[in-house]
Structure 1
Amino acid sequence: MTRVASISQQIWDMKYRLKRSDGRPVDKTIADTWRRLARFLAAPENDPGFWESRFYEALEDFRFLPAGRILSGAGSGRKVTLFNCFVMGDIADDMTGIFESLKEAALTMQQGGGIGYDFSSLRPKGAPVNGVGADASGPLSFMDVWDAMCRTIMSAGSRRGAMMAVMRCDHPDIEAFIEAKREPGRLRMFNLSALVTDAFMRAVKEDAAWELQFNGTTYKSLAARELWAKIMRATYAYAEPGVIFIDRINRLNPLYYCEHIHATNPCGEQPLPPYGACLLGSVNLAKLIDAPFSEQARLDMNALERLVGTAVRMKDNVIEVSKFPLPNQEHEAKAKRRVGLGVTGLADALIMCRARYGGRDAVRLTKTWMKAIRRAAYLTSSRLAAEKGVFPLYDAEKYLAGETIKGLDEDILAAIAEQGIRNALLTSVAPTGTISLFADNVSSGLEPVF
């Protein structure tokens, strides 16, 4: 029986333990939860019994932690998605399109998905609305509608609704967007981030003017540094908005040839295209340390490689068995087969290796461990491609020419060239707040111990 701290037991009982509608538990122990996940996620395999055992071994003792939607939903029989992260479709700049997007957001949140939206497509406050003799109320007024919707809907599995709103740095309402959370209680269901372009950063560097425009009409011109200072002051004062370097994201995206990204999921670790979806999961590094706290302490690299391989296969199967709130989301997920494999317990693992977080040894160890995770993930996905097929939008020449992919080791590139790859993207470091508490209160994600 898995023994954990009382807070971990409470998190499991409240969020991840499968219960009947009357509250009686189906999962008697945490081991039952692992067995439920392993059996359900092994179902697509040709030899499900073998892979159920392998998946259970990876889950046991919190060595691999699937994201919360998987923990609570896999094998539950409920109509919920196993994906944590979504970016919704582009919002059309008319009343029908706006409220159709609101409906899609509500349906996605009802199944447990967190959502991201780009509100830059909506005309600014005061712009004319043709045919009705009125002025537009602007994107922030509609964000208030989204905020009220999110407060109304309790996401599946007792998960509070989560949303990300982004806006381009050249949108005429960007200043109001930056200042929005100064108003007490406003937009509290949203995280906010500004989409910052390379052109804007050049203007900041050169102390040039910056135009705020929409559909070819310039509404205001101001110093780029003035706008940048407003973002920095707001971030210092109340931690928002964040900054997303959107041109860099698109340049480094391995799928640069078939999608354009202009939003992220609620916590920002997943830049996604319209209707993009990604599932998350984390390797618990603290569980892989041999001889902890001694001078011989080290991370078992062979165990790490095996665990990553099993985790990638398990997450690839999630794509097959998950439900999706919208058909467009299912199409996106299966066309590209994104998975987001990350880490948790980094700080604890460094402590066990007697390395001070942020120190030279810690940086060296972290680089070594993260490179090993990337290697194992891409090699596993390439082997899966040989076994199960490549992701449908795979184009060998264009994929291998991508800036990020070209940075992989030569043997990985050779494997992809020969076999293809099953998952277009493979790694992503998520915050892992709740699942880290569940995993016997291990340090969260890549954060230090506060």
Structure 2
Amino acid sequence: MVLYSNEQTPLLDKQQLNGDITHFPQVHPITEDMKIVHHGVSRLVMIDRYSFKDTEKKTLKVGDFVVLTVKEDPKFPARGLGFIQSLNKEEGFAEIWIEQEYRSSLDSPDEQEKGIITRPLEVIEKPLEVFYEQIAKRNATGLSAVETTDEQRKVSFDRFYDQLSKLNFIPAGRVLYGAGSETEVTFFNCYVMPFIADSREGISDHRKQVMEIMSRGGGVGTNGSTLRPRNTLARGVNGKSSGSVSWLDDIAKLTHLVEQGGSRRGAQMIMLADWHPDIYEFIISKMRNPRILRYLIENTEDEMIKKLVNEKLNFKPLTPQEEAMYQGILNYRTIAGMGGFSEAIMRDAETKLNDGGTYSVHNPEFLTGANISITLTDDFMKAVEQDGEHQLRFPAVESYSADEMIAYNEQWHKIGDVREWERLGREVRVYRTIKARALWDLINICATYSAEPGIFFIDNANNETNAKAYGQQVVATNPCGGLRLTLKIAG
């Protein structure tokens, strides 16, 4: 049964929902004093990410309030709220009335006007908590559960609920979702991983931990600077390393593969040090704008940048038929004063003819599962200021003896800084000496036109952190901190 207002807008049937809630001991029923529903994006986020849901859809019925994917797009799906108008569980779909503010994402004008769409059940979820106070009660229940007596639990519950329901204190998102839910999701939003051990086993262990954290709803920060550079000898298999960037892309792909606790997709921040020999490749590999890549070729004197950009760019020459078609479009402008062709079409035809083909990029999905940032050292920034040189270097694993390799395998990933490794008396190989401003310019050009990479002043962080009092160091940032840095440099 669907309840309607006078304007024929579906209404939430609180009595029916409370009946459904009795099947879920984690969820608190709706009471008359509950008022907080939030509005706009805040309401959608509350319902979509933090509300406890009937994930098995065992209580799903006509008239239910639901959250769903209104537009299925692999990269940018659109979520929205609505009410079920009809339900066919046998066929696995439902007809849903979509609230007005979410209709702009619908595909057809008819759907946008009527607001009625048909969607498969797998993209539909039924929230059982539709008031913020319900979430606050669940959180207060979960957070007070550590008390040892019923009396103490009651006191703690009342204290927590008083602050939560007044919005004086709002926990992090993973706490809002997880506390009191009796699930195994993490209560921490984001994590920073230790440096990766430079071995197949080390990479596999790191990947496993990232996957486990993300499956429980946490975001992950990774610094890949301990992975040996591209084409470096891997003596154990008498071959060459595919490089840090390829392994980091493999880790980044987990974001697309792992469905997190709740509806949130994964979040990763991956970093690489300014001294790492793969730093150019790291930055360029994620650039997906052919125009900027061509600009780099035309405006750099660094042959390595040109080489990597050419590897990233893909050029498809025009066929004779395509060349004739685009020339015909330009001729039509001359004959008919542009006729039915827009100026954008004319410019596109002219560009393709001038280029002789179409530029695109190889592997456009590379590293898209993570934001990327560069850890900048004081040494590098001084070289930029003085227009000096900067060395790209890494432990000299190719020339290490068996005993030196044992020490490398045991210690390098605990240190993670080539400067400190050298201070300890370990041999370091200089792969290239570059102009510091060439790397600095590359960072700024890519950040300006694609909002990445971000920058993280790693020496400043370690000089200022309280963690050093505990003998610890800053390795990277998590996605939350790193994303802010990315947005800042892009702005």
Distance, in Å, in 2 between the alignment partners of 1:430 and 1:149 is 22
Aligned match of 1:2: 36
Distance, in Å, in 2 between the alignment partners of 1:11 and 1:5 is 10
* 1:111–1:3 CA distance, 2 compared to 1 (3 A): closer
**Which of the numbers 36, 46, 53 marks the counterpart of 2:138?**
36
* 1:194–1:114 CA distance, 2 compared to 1 (3 A): same
Q: Which amino acid aligns with 1:98?
A: I
Contact 1:195 1:262 in 2 (8 A): no
1:252 is the counterpart of 2:464: yes
Aligned match of 2:366: 186
1:225 is the counterpart of 2:437: yes
Contact 1:234 1:240 in 2 (8 A): yes
Q: Secondary structure in 1 aligned to 2:253? A: helix
* 1:430–1:17 CA distance, 2 compared to 1 (3 A): farther
Q: Secondary structure in 1 aligned to 2:270? A: strand
In percent, how many aligned pairs have the same letter?
A: 36
Q: CA deviation at 1:147?
A: 2.4
Distance, in Å, in 2 between the alignment partners of 1:48 and 1:126 is 60
Distance, in Å, in 1 between the alignment partners of 2:475 and 2:485 is 19
Query: Any residues of structure 2 matched to 1:113-128 within 5 Å, and which?
Result: 113-128=218-233
Distance, in Å, in 2 between the alignment partners of 1:82 and 1:60 is 19
Contact 1:81 1:112 in 2 (8 A): yes
Q: Which amino acid aligns with 1:10?
A: L
* 1:430–1:12 CA distance, 2 compared to 1 (3 A): farther
Larger Rg, first or second structure (1 or 2): 2
1:237 is the counterpart of 2:342: no
Aligned match of 1:207: 387
Aligned match of 1:11: 45
Q: Secondary structure in 2 aligned to 1:158? A: coil
1:264 is the counterpart of 2:483: no
**Under a length normalisation based on structure 1, what TM-score does the superposition of the two structures give?**
0.58
**Under a length normalisation based on structure 2, what TM-score does the superposition of the two structures give?**
0.53
Contact 1:2 1:61 in 2 (8 A): no
Give per-residue Cα distances to partners, 1:82-140, cap 9 Å, x unaligned: 10110123211111111121111111111111001111000100111113221110011
Contact 1:88 1:115 in 2 (8 A): yes
CA RMSD of aligned residues (A): 2.4
Q: Which amino acid aligns with 1:19?
A: K
Give per-residue Cα distances to partners, 1:360-399, cap 9 Å, x unaligned: xxxxxxxxxxxxxxxxxxxxxxxxxxxxxxxxxxxxxxxx
- Structure 2, unmatched stretches of 5+, are 1-34, 60-126, 289-363, 396-427
Distance, in Å, in 1 between the alignment partners of 2:219 and 2:36 is 30
Distance, in Å, in 2 between the alignment partners of 1:28 and 1:221 is 59
Give per-residue Cα distances to partners, 1:206-247, cap 9 Å, x unaligned: 221100000000100011111111111111111111110011
Q: CA deviation at 1:262?
A: 1.6
Q: Which amino acid aligns with 2:432?
A: K
Distance, in Å, in 2 between the alignment partners of 1:117 and 1:239 is 19
Q: CA deviation at 1:67?
A: 1.5
Aligned match of 1:315: none
1:27 is the counterpart of 2:129: yes
Contact 2:454 2:482 in 1 (8 A): no
Q: CA deviation at 1:61?
A: 4.4
Contact 1:118 1:167 in 2 (8 A): yes
Contact 2:377 2:458 in 1 (8 A): yes
Q: CA deviation at 1:3?
A: 4.1
Aligned match of 1:291: none
Distance, in Å, in 2 between the alignment partners of 1:253 and 1:88 is 17
**Which of the numbers 252, 263, 282 marks the counterpart of 1:158?**
263
Contact 1:112 1:156 in 2 (8 A): yes
Contact 1:193 1:241 in 2 (8 A): yes
Contact 2:190 2:480 in 1 (8 A): no
Q: Secondary structure in 1 aligned to 2:468? A: coil
**Which of the numbers 70, 78, 82 marks the counterpart of 2:175?**
70
Q: Secondary structure in 1 aligned to 2:222? A: strand
- Structure 1, unmatched stretches of 5+, are 271-428, 432-445
Contact 2:229 2:276 in 1 (8 A): yes
Q: CA deviation at 1:28?
A: 5.3
Q: CA deviation at 1:196?
A: 0.4
Distance, in Å, in 2 between the alignment partners of 1:222 and 1:245 is 20
Distance, in Å, in 2 between the alignment partners of 1:200 and 1:28 is 52
1:96 is the counterpart of 2:201: yes
Q: Secondary structure in 2 aligned to 1:121? A: coil
* 1:114–1:137 CA distance, 2 compared to 1 (3 A): same
* 1:134–1:13 CA distance, 2 compared to 1 (3 A): same
Contact 1:102 1:146 in 2 (8 A): yes
**Which of the numbers 279, 297, 315 marks the counterpart of 1:174?**
279
Q: CA deviation at 1:73?
A: 0.7
**Which of the numbers 233, 236, 245 marks the counterpart of 1:131?**
236
Give the length in aligned residue pairs: 275
Contact 2:210 2:220 in 1 (8 A): yes
Q: Which amino acid aligns with 1:43?
A: A
Distance, in Å, in 1 between the alignment partners of 2:439 and 2:129 is 53
Q: Secondary structure in 2 aligned to 1:11? A: helix
